[in-house]
Amino acid sequence: MFRKKNYLMTFLLGTALILTFVSLPAQASTSQASYFTIDSPRATISGTEYLLEVPPRVYRGTTMLPLRFTGETILQCDVYWNPTTRTALLEKGTTKIELALNSHQARVNGQVVNLNFPPQLEKGRILVPLRFLAESFLWEVEYLPTERAVILWEPVEPTALFRFSTPQIIAGQEVEFIDESFDSAGRPLADRIWEINYNESLRSRDLNSLLLKPPAGTYVVRLKVKSKAGLWSEWFEQHLIVEPNRAPVVRDLQILPERPSMGESISFSYSYDNEEWEPVVEERWSYRWWSQDGENRSGVGRPRAFFEPGQYQINLSIRDAYGNWSDPKTVAIDVLHREKQSELSYKFSDPQPGEIVHNPDRVNYNDYPLNQSYRMTKTGPTLLFSNSPETVPGPGILYQDEVSGPIRVVYHHRNGSSTPLRLAVMVENTGENVINLLRTKSASGGPVEDVMHLGQLVAFNYYHSAENTTVMLQPGEKYTLYQSPGHGWKYNQSLTGMFDFQADGPVKVSILALPLGDSVSSHEELPIWPRDGRHARGTFPQADQEVQILIRGDKKEKIVLGKDGEGFESWLKGYDVLTGDEIINKGNYGAVYHLHFTSEKKTGILFNPRGISFKGALQGSDGGLYNIPATGSFSGLREAAVAGILHPGQDASLVYTPPNGSDAPVILAIIPESFWDE
């Protein structure tokens, strides 16, 4: 049983003059600090001197002091000694510390803590480790090696204090402030928290992260700070007035020459009004015209030249860093009937991959004959493709199979449930041996509603991706290859992903739609959703194609991708392991084409989608990555985009994968230089 006993031999000797002979920290003032010297019986506590029966000792680098003097006189806590168990209990507030004589273990609020040196008995007094006790009660300790002296003081709450450089800003403008918060101990602060409008969800260690794009209004900005001792200050607050951020205004949009010929380069200049400190970060160009065949046509992006005569309406909007778009500024120009350069000659002479070819002559690229000078090899990984049901009705298994070797997982799904979901791709070692996984490529996007942009983004990032991550899977172990963001996959939003990896043994790969809060590993009871009858899912061996293509340059010709029976192209055939059905992948989604060209003459390549709508990407013959088209999207069959230039005697390659969310068939129109001005 613990009992409290008060006894201590003290001698009041007046103010401790010894403190005037050492240089003390600012926080260790003579009226607040406790000061003593190793092996000296004299100690000064808050300006009063005491004489100790057992002076402070150092054992193996640990300063030891009498238990009751340390606990009651210095730390001002309750001390209880149990002579039966030879244990001590120190209590103050919510902190309880238990010590046992000659034991290297103590307990702080029930948690075991290891001591460098255990409590000792000397001359009938129990000596305890000073720093451990002091810091457990959040006291500050400082050792002065020259004087062999130790100073202790009880920390006080720090003070939060700041002021704005200007109490009124414009939305989007950086908040400038002077932080004058301090710890009276003179030590650096350990932490700080900012808060806006008394809202706990609007807290951050970075004030500007809370005020990136605030609406106009008056804000209460609060700050509290934390000391090294773990004490938090009271909140300190100031008011900040945020004025509206006005949208930029485009002025004086000019085009030169004012009346260009067809195929003549044009240049633009403009000025704008905006806040002086705020940059313009984006331009949005568009243009419209009536074609010679009476069609009202349009384009997006900054045009370099026009290739039909007539009047063009050109629009420009600009966006500032805050996110405000200006109203469109519109100018009209007349393009003369005189031709300086044809569209193909202009755009192939200075190629910019992804640039739209408007095709004023309405050339049908599908009329070109198929290239017959090729050699195709089936290669690549086993493809696990999950796109059916494309619209997911709720939690369930979307696809799974057991595979090994080179593997590619591709999924494209939309949430058709009113409940937010989470999509995950899980790899499981169901065997008895260790399996090594090597991740080589990965790209994912969403959840978003713009499926065409999503497919383009994932294709672009897939080309760019390069990984070399090894994962070792023990028997029965599961590994999450991907899971969608934690904020949830909401109704009508889509997710797309493309992952390449290798497994040196059989693994089960599962594509899962999960309830938002459920664990990835708990899916055995989920239903298996049936295919929707329109889209594909399944396992497809050797999903890629390596194609060697010879261009002789004596005629215009075409290469078709994503359409069965056209030249070397054929749709992937596989199986749905969940049903046993044979599956045809119409469009070859998830396949990667490696097209290697050799040309005998200088030749341009156009990319012409043959579906209703399209946004994709490719790796060009120069090794660069390009969106196709560079801006906007394709609609209809007439337009194409520049894909690259082939030079005689030089090998060149294109890498392409059909983007999820877009129509698949595309034509590569092969046009030798001799046909550019037709």
Contact, 607 vs 626, CB < 8 A? no
Do 627 and 605 share a domain, yes or no? yes
- What is the model's pLDDT at position 29? 46
- State the average pLDDT over residues 29-42: 75
Do 530 and 386 share a domain, yes or no? yes
CATH code where residue 116 lies: 3.30.457.10
- What is the model's pLDDT at position 360? 92
- What is the model's pLDDT at position 617? 96
- What is the model's pLDDT at position 462? 96
- What is the model's pLDDT at position 243? 94
Do 421 and 532 share a domain, yes or no? yes
- What is the model's pLDDT at position 93? 85
Asked if the model's pLDDT at residue 406 lies above 80, the reply is yes
- What is the model's pLDDT at position 230? 79
Task: Name every residue whose Cβ is closer than 8 Å to that of residue 201 and which is 6 or more positions away in sequence.
Answer: none
- What is the model's pLDDT at position 141? 85
**Is residue 47, in this structure, part of any structural domain at all?**
yes
Domains: count for the chain? 5
CATH code where residue 225 lies: 2.60.40
Alpha carbon distance 554, 675 (integer Å): 9
Q: What is the pLDDT of residues 441-479, one digit of tens each?
A: 999 999 999 999 999 999 999 999 998 999 999 999 999
DSSP category for residue 180: -
Asked if the model's pLDDT at residue 12 lies above 50, the reply is no
**Is residue 5, in this structure, part of any structural domain at all?**
no
CB pairs under 8 A, 24+ apart, for 312-317? 312/287, 312/288, 313/287, 313/288, 313/289, 314/253, 314/255, 314/285, 314/286, 314/287, 315/285, 315/286, 315/287, 316/250, 316/253, 316/268, 316/270, 316/283, 316/284, 316/285, 317/250, 317/283, 317/284
CATH code where residue 314 lies: 2.60.40.10
Kindly report which listed range (252-261, 279-288, 303-312, 627-636) carries the lowest average pLDDT score. Answer: 627-636
pLDDT mean across residues, the chain = 90
Collapse the DSSP code of 210 into the 3-class scheme (helix H, G, I; strand E, B; otherwise coil) and give the result: helix
- State the average pLDDT over residues 149-163: 87
Q: Which domain holds residue 282?
A: 249-341
Q: What is the pLDDT of residues 107-117, one digit of tens each?
A: 999 999 999 99
- How would residue 7 be classed by pLDDT, with cut points 50, 70 and 90? very low
- State the average pLDDT over residues 98-102: 92
C-alpha to C-alpha distances, 130 to 87, 140, 281, 457, 544, nearest whole angstrom: 16, 11, 60, 61, 71
- What is the model's pLDDT at position 11? 32
- Examine the fold and report which residue of 490, 519, 540 is the final residue of a domain before the chain moves on: 540
Q: What is the pLDDT of residues 52-94, one digit of tens each?
A: 888 888 888 899 889 888 888 888 899 999 999 999 999 988 8
Contact, 634 vs 580, CB < 8 A? no
Q: What is the pLDDT of residues 207-225, one digit of tens each?
A: 988 988 888 999 999 999 9
- What is the model's pLDDT at position 264? 97
**Is residue 359, in this structure, part of any structural domain at all?**
no
Do 427 and 502 share a domain, yes or no? yes
Do 535 and 549 share a domain, yes or no? no
Q: What is the pLDDT of residues 231-244, one digit of tens each?
A: 899 999 999 999 99
- How would residue 142 be classed by pLDDT, with cut points 50, 70 and 90? confident
- Examine the fold and report which residue of 243, 275, 304 is the final residue of a domain before the chain moves on: 243
- How would residue 559 be classed by pLDDT, with cut points 50, 70 and 90? very high
CATH code where residue 660 lies: 2.60.120
Kindly report which listed range (140-144, 168-172, 358-362) carries the lowest average pLDDT score. Answer: 140-144
Do 529 and 574 share a domain, yes or no? no
pTM attached to this predicted model: 0.73
- Examine the fold and report which residue of 212, 243, 274 is the final residue of a domain before the chain moves on: 243
- What is the model's pLDDT at position 14? 31
**Is residue 350, in this structure, part of any structural domain at all?**
no
Q: What is the pLDDT of residues 617-656, one digit of tens each?
A: 999 988 899 999 999 888 888 999 999 999 998 899 999 9
Q: What is the pLDDT of residues 471-519, one digit of tens each?
A: 999 999 999 999 999 888 999 999 999 999 999 999 999 999 999 877 6
Do 483 and 513 share a domain, yes or no? yes
- State the average pLDDT over residues 595-606: 95
Q: Percent of the chain having pLDDT more than 90?
A: 73
Asked if the model's pLDDT at residue 27 lies above 60, the reply is no
> Which token pair is 651?
């090998």
- How would residue 520 be classed by pLDDT, with cut points 50, 70 and 90? low
Do 149 and 184 share a domain, yes or no? no
Do 400 and 532 share a domain, yes or no? yes
Do 535 and 596 share a domain, yes or no? no
Do 207 and 273 share a domain, yes or no? no
**Is residue 437, in this structure, part of any structural domain at all?**
yes
**Is residue 352, in this structure, part of any structural domain at all?**
no
**Is residue 493, in this structure, part of any structural domain at all?**
yes
**Is residue 310, in this structure, part of any structural domain at all?**
yes
Do 320 and 234 share a domain, yes or no? no
